[in-house]
Amino acid sequence: MSETTDNKRQWHPNFVKYTEFIVNHKNYKGLYFERNNDGQVKWVITGKSENGLKRRDWWDTQCKKFGIKIEAGCYAKVALEVHPTKKHTCQICGKELSLEYVYPNKRTIASFKKEFNVSILPFSKDIFQIVKELAKTDDDIEKVKRIFKIPTSAKITKQNIESYLQKYFVNAFAKGLLSPGAMSNSPDRFDGYHSDGACCRHESDKGRHKDNLQRYGQDRRVYENWADGDWKMADRLMSLFRKNGISADHIGPISLGFCHRPKFHPLSKAENSAKNNRMSLNDVQVLLDDEKTEEVVSWHSKYLWDILKNKVRTDKEAVKLSDLMRKNLHHILIVFSMIDEKGYGKFLLQFLNPSYSFFDYKFEEFDPKTGLYKNAIAKKLEGKNQQNNIDRYYRVAFEKLQEYKTIENRKANLWEDKTIDTELEKLFQFLQTKKLEQAKSQLENVINNLAQLNAKNW
Ligand SMILES: [Zn+2]
């Protein structure tokens, strides 16, 4: 990641807070930094520049202070010593990850999946959480020993397994097995760590990156499946972009609750990672304009969108709306998965759109540079496969919902509001007594309440 990308890239609000906390912390007293015209900390300085050398001097002094010999790898050690919380906030997604070697790498994740026969193991769970969840019996502890190549003779019990792992693996920087939540990068970054966390890392640590992409892929599918809009036409158009080697984004990201509609704009690589599914003021204006002639937002997310859409005046506010809509959609998907979990999945079928699968599309005079085309030609699909396609569409929609719920931290970041819980209980009552019309309006009620709740953070 170049210096300019890092400084110019849209910072997650959590990261802004993090930089302020760090530069003002006494542990970093005397470490050189500047602010730009907006007052934002210039987090990155090229190591070889004059100011970069000032930073290096400071880190060298810290090494002496902590008795760390100046040699390869010394800055990684000292950056961890100096860090006041050992928790790093990701510049891109705002997630907080530990700086210690507590996250299993790709190979370790694969061994856990194999030994414990689990299908999903989110990369951002640390080794202690994983062991706590999976290692319940003596037999399980033997499995953990195999994963970490610990001799079978080692006396490990449920009681001491965590301290054992801490001492011999985490504290020992067990590089082949575990990795930290952010890679060391002294003295370029102020805190000595790459700004993007392992959650969003692209260049290095390909193993975990891949796992992260798979996770994003799963999330993407659940957004698509539960969004309104002609998904078939959207998919066809999207694959045209892909065939032309161009990455494209929805105007109105589906991850925020907008329709999966056949309207994209092509992105450069830098733009793609920087935007991270957030809207600009211009995006919001395009959506408001499009909304005059077509539905742009899915029914479930329309409540929040309608409350806030006319309040957006700046790019910053567009990002704020994006974050609130994403959180709101998270809540909605959790509500859906709770309904499914309680055995009322059938009730949710009415919110899916299988009929779009009856058509296929060709786009005349498609221009990948602009994403525009002259005509979309629809072809009705007939034949025996249609029912199969619909069955598969339904099955995938529910599978993705289940996966969404199981994936990390789904319980965290949930609403903390008694009213919502009470309204949800009412919904389940209606479902249980098969009052389906009432259940439908009660679901709308719940979602409306969620929108009101999330809008309070505007
Ligand atoms: Zn991240």
Give the residue from 190, 216, 157 showing the smallest Cα distance to 58.
Answer: 190
- Close Cβ partners of 278 (under 8 Å, ≥ 6 residues apart): 10, 253, 318, 319, 322, 323
Distance 89 CA to ligand 1 centre (A): 8
Q: What is the pLDDT of residues 300-309, one digit of tens each?
A: 999 999 999 9
Q: In this structure, are 108 and 88 located in the same domain?
A: no
The label of the residue with tokens 């969004």 reads 227
Whether the CB-CB separation of 23 and 190 falls below 8 Å is answered with yes
Q: In this structure, are 249 and 142 located in the same domain?
A: no
Q: In this structure, are 151 and 190 located in the same domain?
A: no
Grade residue 209 by pLDDT with cuts at 50, 70 and 90. very low
Distance 93 CA to ligand 1 centre (A): 4
What pLDDT is recorded for position 408? Answer: 46
Q: In this structure, are 276 and 157 located in the same domain?
A: no
Distance between CA 307 and CA 299 in Å, rounded? Answer: 14
How many structural domains does the chain have? 3
Q: In this structure, are 251 and 165 located in the same domain?
A: no
Distance 56 CA to ligand 1 centre (A): 26
Q: In this structure, are 273 and 332 located in the same domain?
A: yes
358 pLDDT more than 90: no
CB atoms within 10 A of CB 214: 12
Give the residue from 330, 396, 309, 323 showing the smallest Cα distance to 357.
Answer: 396
Grade residue 270 by pLDDT with cuts at 50, 70 and 90. low
Q: In this structure, are 345 and 303 located in the same domain?
A: yes
Range 114-128 average pLDDT? 79
217 pLDDT more than 80: no
Distance 260 CA to ligand 1 centre (A): 24
Domain range for 160 is 103-179
Distance 39 CA to ligand 1 centre (A): 23
What pLDDT is recorded for position 211? Answer: 41
Instruction: Point out the domain boundary residue: 204, 239, 260.
Output: 204
Q: In this structure, are 143 and 16 located in the same domain?
A: no
Whether omega for the bond prior to residue 151 falls within 30 degrees of 0, making it cis, is no
Grade residue 20 by pLDDT with cuts at 50, 70 and 90. very high
**Coil, helix or strand at residue 77:** helix
323 pLDDT more than 70: yes
Distance 384 CA to ligand 1 centre (A): 45
Instruction: Point out the domain boundary residue: 135, 169, 204.
Output: 204
Distance 200 CA to ligand 1 centre (A): 4
> Which of the 8 DSSP states describes residue 341?
I
Q: In this structure, are 189 and 172 located in the same domain?
A: no
Range 409-429 average pLDDT? 85
Give the residue from 140, 147, 204 showing the smallest Cα distance to 174.
Answer: 147
What pLDDT is recorded for position 275? Answer: 63
Instruction: Point out the domain boundary residue: 179, 194, 229.
Output: 179
Q: In this structure, are 9 and 124 located in the same domain?
A: no
Task: Write down the pTM of the prediction.
Answer: 0.55
Grade residue 120 by pLDDT with cuts at 50, 70 and 90. low
Question: In this structure, which long-range contacts are made by residues 143-148, counting pairs with CB atoms below 8 Å and at least 24 apart in sequence?
Answer: 143/115, 143/116, 144/115, 146/111, 146/115, 147/108, 147/111, 147/112, 147/115, 148/174, 148/177
Give the residue from 323, 327, 317, 340 showing the smallest Cα distance to 395.
Answer: 340
**Coil, helix or strand at residue 94:** coil
Q: In this structure, are 424 and 446 located in the same domain?
A: yes
Q: In this structure, are 30 and 121 located in the same domain?
A: no
Strands 247-250 and 178-179: unpaired
